[in-house]
Amino acid sequence: MRWLAYTSAERDVLEDLPKLCPNVTSFSIGLFFSWDNEPSQEVGRMVTQWPRLRNLRTCAIAQPVLDQLFSRRTLESLYIDCPNDSSVYIGRIPDTVREFTLTADSS
């Protein structure tokens, strides 16, 4: 599943997305500079509700969320996009993660 939510109506759907699509194994969401609040909080709430998640492309998310995803040992691919001015701590990446990419937006 690839999600590009830019309008308020589309962002509202994010809250119910895990209920609407409970068996997600791959999820991609872009950076949203127009959001009033930090998108990583909403993304973190969503991805922790998908126990079969194997591939994730997202903005920087909180360390407790990463720890929870890593503890499941189902995540195989992790791609994190973050603004150039943010700091990211990933911690120890389990051997189940075969592909890891960290990018910074310099715009």
Distance (Å, rounded) from C-alpha 90 to C-alpha 72? 16
Distance (Å, rounded) from C-alpha 69 to C-alpha 106? 28
Both structure tokens of 3? 């999600």
Distance (Å, rounded) from C-alpha 31 to C-alpha 60? 9
Q: Containing domain of residue 13, as a range? A: 2-105
Q: Is the per-residue pLDDT at 11 higher than 50?
A: yes
The domain total for the chain is 1
How do residues 61-87 score in pLDDT, each as one tens digit? 888 888 999 999 999 999 988 766 666
- What's the whole-number average pLDDT of the chain? 80
